[in-house]
Amino acid sequence: MPDHVDYASQPTSPRLTESAARVATLRAEAAADIEGFWKREAMSRIAWVKPPTRIKNTSFEGDVSIKWFEDGTLNASVSCLDRHLETRGDQTAIIWEGDEPGSQDSVTYRDLHTRVCKFANALKGLGVRKGDRVTIYMPMVIEAAVAMLASARIGAIHSVVFGGFSPHSLAGRIQDCKSSVVITSDEARRGGKRVPLKANTDEALKTCPDVTAVVVVAVTGATVPMVAGRDHDYATLVADASADCPPEEMGAEDPLFILYTSGSTGTPKGVQHTTGGYMVWASFTHELVFDYRPGEIFWCTADVGWVTGHTYIVYGPLANGATTLMFEGVPTYPDSGRLWEVVDKHKVEIFYTAPTAIRALMRDGDEPVKRSSRTSLRVLGTVGEPINPEAWEWYYSVVGDSRCPIVDTWWQTETGGHLISPVPGMNPLKPGSATLPLPGVKPLIVDSNGTPLEGEADGHLCIADSWPGQMRTVFGDHDRFIKTYFSTYKGLYFTGDGARRDADGYYWITGRVDDVINVSGHRMGTAEVESALGSHHHVAESAVVGYPHDVKGQGIYAYVTLKHGVEATEALLKELAGWVRKEIGPIAVPDVIQWAPGLPKTRSGKIMRRILRKIAANEVDSLGDTSTLADPAVVDDLVSNRKK
């Protein structure tokens, strides 16, 4: 793929050149003295109650133990709120842009602090204590950030569940971390439609007997049934709450949040992040990678239900005293000019989105972009999947008017924040390459035996040593943490991604090498979709793979074998799609379902996914060796009945 791409020189300025040079200096400093480096960054970025003296205590071997700043104490909400009150109490902390054009709101640091303290006290009143888990299932409204910060203030661990997930998925995530409280809203608005979050919560809670309280934020004003003794109206709770809530003193290694993410096997994992290291990483990367300067308006279009929303809508920007924009809607509502209208309206300086959004908007041409001036824009960013050169070029020249540097940020839920990314002003850029590791990050490309490769290389991407923002464990299952990330290549963190390093040392992420797929920037385990399909009473077996999709990056292709005697009808196809929607959510619905009388298996019964991927991608001329299959004839059937 990216071999043919030419170097691109980003626009620069003395100011940007200076910032880029500073990052190069930081990289050298981190390489020379990792502990001294992080001590300094931790002290300057975060408000500590007790400053840390032990900086790094990490091992990727054996039981895998990762500790940063372990004797320090702090509260994340103080770094995001209290310490800004004196200097920027009246500055806008969050600008909220509603789904409907014209609906907007904002909150200053002072107001946000008050709201967080009141809600924190309300949560205490509901019995929430340090270490308890609080599930947040909310639309993109300011109260979502309030709920996160209020949990952090009292030492509760939040678990935000994306509002697009089904009741079934929500229930699984509540049960796994044993949340006692759920914070939700009556409904969510998205692209002119309504999503019944409270009704979904009620449905989920039928299987979550340990939930004792539900807090409901009135977002659309819809009438929703309230269960007496369990359900509480948010406005009533906070109206009665005191605005004085001393922050809980947390150890740096105490968990700040859990966020569920898909892996190649099993149910989603609760990725656990801690207070000290995560906050340092969020602040560090938000400032460096976006070249954030005080007073600027920063807009990340992600949902708070994903890690990008955690780190780059809430914690990073607020730690840095930024004004962060929160958008309730979607890029195409009411039309595909919406994002750029919002940029003009709020004079956004830094804009961060996913390649899938860029590709979707690109299809509608330049006109919806050109309706806006976008003169406020200074830096553009992307995240979630490799960006194809065409999309990069369009983003650069049409959206950014060839004025704004683009940062292609590679990272994962597990990494807490960016690990490999250009910084504004760095030259040259190469469209499609995430370029170089950030200061203190040690990527390694290994071959299939785990041997590190030097120089130009193509293989699996690992990280050789810890960084402060790294996840610490899988909630409640440390063995799974070790097995998933540290057992493939001993002593290394394995990312699950493939990568190439070119002659200039630039990294090119080539995509997942495991059974995780990236659909419209949403991470999905094929095993989860298979498990949903398999729970339908007509399905005998299924296999799900990703295939290249023009807009989504990857689409979901499902091969389904029906039980004996069940007729393969159009109606059943629709029913299965609806089934997956109900089991997981709309983001998991297969783009293609192909009936498979049989699946290609080895003689020991293992499904040969390599072959299924090739068929889905229409690369049927390069299926490779099929002689080891138990029944090679199934492949011919699948090829001839392949769905376009």
- Choices 37-45, 291-299, 409-417, 635-643 (CB under 6 A): range interacting with ligand WTA: 409-417
410 is in an annotated binding site: yes
d(C-alpha 269, C-alpha 607), whole Å:
24
Tokens of 478: 């440390």
Please report whether residue 272 would count as binding ligand WTA according to CB under 6 A: no
480 is in an annotated binding site: no
- Choices 195-203, 303-311, 322-330, 626-634 (CB under 6 A): range interacting with ligand WTA: 303-311
255 is in an annotated binding site: no
631 is in an annotated binding site: no
> How far from the centroid of its chain's Cα atoms is residue 148's Cα?
16
Choose which of 10, 409, 473, 520 interacts with ligand WTA (CB under 6 A): 409
Residue 430: phi, psi to the nearest 5? -135, 115
d(C-alpha 514, C-alpha 496), whole Å:
6
SS3 232: strand
**Where does residue 454 rank: exposed (0-12), middle (13-18), buried (19+ CB within 10 A)?**
exposed
Q: Please give the DSSP secondary-structure letter assigned to residue 5.
A: P
Tokens of 583: 């089991």
**ω into 255 cis (within 30 of 0):** no
CB atoms within 10 A of CB 275: 26
State in angstroms the smallest separation of the CB of 474 from ligand WTA. Answer: 14
d(C-alpha 26, C-alpha 28), whole Å:
5
SS3 440: coil
Choose which of 497, 515, 528, 583 interacts with ligand WTA (CB under 6 A): 497
d(C-alpha 499, C-alpha 512), whole Å:
9
363 is in an annotated binding site: no
d(C-alpha 585, C-alpha 311), whole Å:
24
d(C-alpha 273, C-alpha 260), whole Å:
11
Tell me if 208 sits within 8 A of 174, measured CB to CB. yes
Q: Which is nearer to ligand WTA, 505 or 632 (CB)?
A: 505
State in angstroms the smallest separation of the CB of 446 from ligand WTA. Answer: 16
Q: Give the side-chain half-sphere CA count within 13 A for 157.
A: 22
Q: Which is nearer to ligand WTA, 200 or 495 (CB)?
A: 495
Tell me if 188 sits within 8 A of 224, measured CB to CB. no
Q: Please give the DSSP secondary-structure letter assigned to residue 213.
A: E
Q: Which is nearer to ligand WTA, 52 or 386 (CB)?
A: 386
Choose which of 411, 475, 493, 557 interacts with ligand WTA (CB under 6 A): 411
State in angstroms the smallest separation of the CB of 109 from ligand WTA. Answer: 27
Q: Which is nearer to ligand WTA, 384 or 459 (CB)?
A: 384
SS3 279: helix
Q: Which is nearer to ligand WTA, 121 or 495 (CB)?
A: 495
Residue ranges in 501-644 assigned as alpha helix (H): 526-534, 570-583, 609-616, 633-640
539 is in an annotated binding site: yes
State in angstroms the smallest separation of the CB of 623 from ligand WTA. Answer: 25
Q: Which is nearer to ligand WTA, 146 or 350 (CB)?
A: 350
Whether the CA torsion 318, 218, 190, 270 is positive or negative: it is positive
Choose which of 201, 308, 336, 520 interacts with ligand WTA (CB under 6 A): 308
Residue with tokens 């205490």: 124
Choose which of 268, 496, 525, 546 interacts with ligand WTA (CB under 6 A): 496
According to CB under 6 A, which residues from 361 to 400 bind ligand WTA? 383-386
Radius of gyration of the chain (CA): 24
Please report whether residue 408 would count as binding ligand WTA according to CB under 6 A: yes
Choose which of 434, 445, 543, 629 interacts with ligand WTA (CB under 6 A): 434
According to CB under 6 A, which residues from 41 to 80 bind ligand WTA? none
According to CB under 6 A, which residues from 498 to 557 bind ligand WTA? 509, 511-512, 518, 523
Q: Which is nearer to ligand WTA, 384 or 590 (CB)?
A: 384
- Polymer length in residues for the chain: 644
Tokens of 631: 């029944």
Q: Which is nearer to ligand WTA, 79 or 285 (CB)?
A: 285
Please report whether residue 307 would count as binding ligand WTA according to CB under 6 A: yes
State in angstroms the smallest separation of the CB of 537 from ligand WTA. Answer: 32
Please report whether residue 135 would count as binding ligand WTA according to CB under 6 A: no
Please report whether residue 303 would count as binding ligand WTA according to CB under 6 A: no
Starting at the edge strand that comes first in sequence, how are the strands of the sheet with 457-463 ordered? 443-446, 457-463, 493-501, 507-512
Choose which of 184, 261, 320, 356 interacts with ligand WTA (CB under 6 A): 261
d(C-alpha 619, C-alpha 538), whole Å:
30
State in angstroms the smallest separation of the CB of 432 from ligand WTA. Answer: 9
Q: Which is nearer to ligand WTA, 331 or 384 (CB)?
A: 384
d(C-alpha 347, C-alpha 374), whole Å:
8
What residue numbers does the annotated binding site cover? 190-193, 308, 384-386, 408-413, 497, 512, 520, 523, 536, 539, 581
- Where is the binding site for CoA, in residues? 190-193, 308, 520, 581
Which residues contact ligand WTA (rule: CB under 6 A)?
A: 261, 306-308, 383-386, 408-413, 434, 495-497, 509, 511-512, 518, 523
Write out the binding residues for Mg(2+): 536, 539
